[in-house]
């Protein structure tokens, strides 16, 4: 429930504690060893260990008997004293944090340095070159909500080491625009055309932008700014001409890099052939040969392959249909 540091004489105090159960946890400085616990019969001067037993503190009680005995050791000692993790930073391509590792040591083996390793990367504390305890090394780490282990060790004395597990924060990647054409459905032929349904979904959309979807030279707008939610379905009328790989493009109006494309195959349908004699108008009789002209107007649509024959007065008149109708035969 609290943290404090001993004074120059090794004393510490937690004042004004409410009644309850308590225990103390001591942090041993590098280069020191812990004395045996509960030696002798005087609780005021013996050592209770790094983690003390639980004691019940009553009202107005003043208990100053919870101690830890330590002494200088000649044994090599290295400790990861603490570490800090910076807030996540988005670099434009990755979410990263900076990890600062603080290392203390004592009784360094002659000529050896300390290597600090994290996520496959190693930093060296140049103890043999004069570095003094404590020292700090820094690492750039992915922010990916993952546990990693810091290991600090003298490079020639692996038994003189320490380790600490850290946990990196969640990624801080900003919203990334994603736009997908999820489905393309082409209906059956109906009078030479078909209905094309395009299903579009999106996320991380740029502020203030709508989506434009283009198919068969027709463009429709999804009013994202006006509150249309993903996904949305748009319907187009397209020719049922049997064409293939006709493009569909969906993109945000300004952020054209946030886009998707697909294609559709148009169905083929046979339209009913129609042929109509619209009129037959005779001219005045020519008394010289007792004949007259007859103007016949014929209209047609969706003719099959081949010629059209019109019989007038026992005479066949044949012509090849084209896109123009009606036609006039005299």
**Residue-by-residue DSSP string for 208-242:** T--EEEEETTEEEEE-TTTTPPSSEEEEEEEE-B-
Say if residue 215 is in the same domain as residue 243.
yes
Say if residue 82 is in the same domain as residue 146.
yes
Residue 41 pLDDT grade (very low, low, confident, very high; cuts 50, 70, 90): confident
The whole model's pTM is what?
0.43
Q: Nearest to residue 220, comparing CAs of 229, 210, 230?
A: 210
Separation CA 31–CA 82 (nearest Å): 16
| Pair of tokens at residue 23 | 């225990």
Exposed e or buried b per residue across 54-66, where buried means at least 16 C-beta atoms within 10 angstroms of its C-beta: eeeeeeeeeeeeb
Residue-wise pLDDT tens digits, 53-62: 888 888 888 8
Residue 172 inside a domain? The answer is: no
Say if residue 260 is in the same domain as residue 182.
yes
What is the pLDDT, as a whole number, of residue 194?
Answer: 94
Q: Nearest to residue 252, comparing CAs of 218, 208, 217?
A: 208
The count of structural domains within the chain is 4
Domain boundary among 237, 264, 291: 264
Residue 269 inside a domain? The answer is: no
Say if residue 158 is in the same domain as residue 113.
yes
Residue 6 inside a domain? The answer is: yes
Cβ-Cβ contacts under 8 Å for 78 (sequence gap 6 or more): 30, 103, 104, 105, 114, 152, 153, 154, 160, 161, 162
Say if residue 57 is in the same domain as residue 108.
no
What does the DSSP assignment read for 100-133? EEEEEEESPPTT--EEEEETTEEEEE-TTTT--S
Residue 281 inside a domain? The answer is: yes
Say if residue 248 is in the same domain as residue 284.
no
What's the domain range around 295?
274-329
Say if residue 317 is in the same domain as residue 238.
no
Domain boundary among 47, 73, 99: 73
Say if residue 230 is in the same domain as residue 243.
yes
Residue 19 inside a domain? The answer is: yes
What is the pLDDT, as a whole number, of residue 124?
Answer: 97
What is the pLDDT, as a whole number, of residue 327?
Answer: 54
Domain boundary among 44, 73, 102: 73
Residue 173 inside a domain? The answer is: no
- The most confident of 72-76, 239-243, 289-293, by mean pLDDT: 239-243
Residue 257 pLDDT grade (very low, low, confident, very high; cuts 50, 70, 90): confident
Separation CA 306–CA 53 (nearest Å): 107
Give the CATH number of the domain where residue 153 resides: 2.60.40.1930
Residue-wise pLDDT tens digits, 175-198: 778 999 999 999 988 888 999 999
DSSP class of residue 305? S
What is the pLDDT, as a whole number, of residue 309?
Answer: 83
Say if residue 82 is in the same domain as residue 157.
yes
Say if residue 303 is in the same domain as residue 251.
no
Residue pair 97/88 in contact by the 8 Å Cβ criterion = yes
Residue 72 pLDDT grade (very low, low, confident, very high; cuts 50, 70, 90): low
Residue pair 247/263 in contact by the 8 Å Cβ criterion = yes
Give the CATH number of the domain where residue 208 resides: 2.60.40.150
Any bridge partners for residue 122, and if so which? Answer: 117
Residue-wise pLDDT tens digits, 284-317: 888 888 877 777 787 877 777 778 888 877 788 7
Say if residue 93 is in the same domain as residue 155.
yes
What is the pLDDT, as a whole number, of residue 291?
Answer: 77
């Amino acid at each position: 429930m609290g943290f404090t540091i001993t004074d120059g004489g090794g004393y510490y105090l937690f004042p004004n504690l409410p009644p309850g159960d308590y225990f103390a946890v001591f942090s041993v400085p590098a280069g020191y060893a812990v004395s045996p616990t509960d030696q002798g019969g005087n609780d005021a001067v013996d050592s209770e260990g790094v983690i003390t037993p639980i004691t019940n503190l009553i009202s107005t009680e003043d208990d100053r008997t919870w101690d830890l005995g330590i002494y200088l050791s000649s044994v090599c000692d290295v400790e990861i004293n603490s570490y800090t993790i910076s807030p996540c930073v988005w670099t434009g391509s990755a979410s990263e944090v900076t990890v600062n590792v603080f290392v203390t040591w004592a009784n360094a083996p002659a000529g050896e340095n300390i290597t600090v390793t994290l996520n496959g990367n190693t930093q060296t504390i140049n103890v043999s070159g004069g570095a003094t305890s404590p020292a700090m090394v820094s690492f750039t780490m992915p922010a990916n909500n993952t546990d990693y282990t810091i290991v600090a060790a003298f490079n020639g004395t692996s038994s003189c080491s320490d380790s600490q597990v850290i946990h990196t924060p969640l990624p801080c990647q900003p919203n990334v625009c994603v736009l997908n054409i999820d489905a393309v459905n082409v209906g059956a032929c109906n009078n030479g055309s078909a209905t094309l349904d395009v299903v579009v979904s999106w996320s991380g959309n740029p502020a203030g932008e709508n989506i434009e979807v283009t198919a068969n030279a027709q463009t429709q707008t999804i009013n994202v700014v006006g509150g249309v939610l993903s996904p949305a379905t748009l319907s187009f009328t397209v020719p049922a001409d049997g064409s293939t790989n006709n493009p569909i493009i969906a993109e945000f109006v300004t952020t054209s890099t946030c886009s998707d494309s697909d294609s559709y195959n148009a169905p083929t349908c046979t339209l009913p052939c129609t042929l109509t004699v619209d009129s037959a108008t005779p001219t005045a009789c020519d008394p010289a040969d007792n004949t007259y002209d007859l103007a016949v107007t014929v209209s047609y649509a969706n003719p099959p392959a081949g010629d059209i024959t019109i019989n007038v007065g026992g005479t066949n008149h044949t012509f090849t249909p084209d896109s123009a109708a009606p036609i006039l035969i005299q």
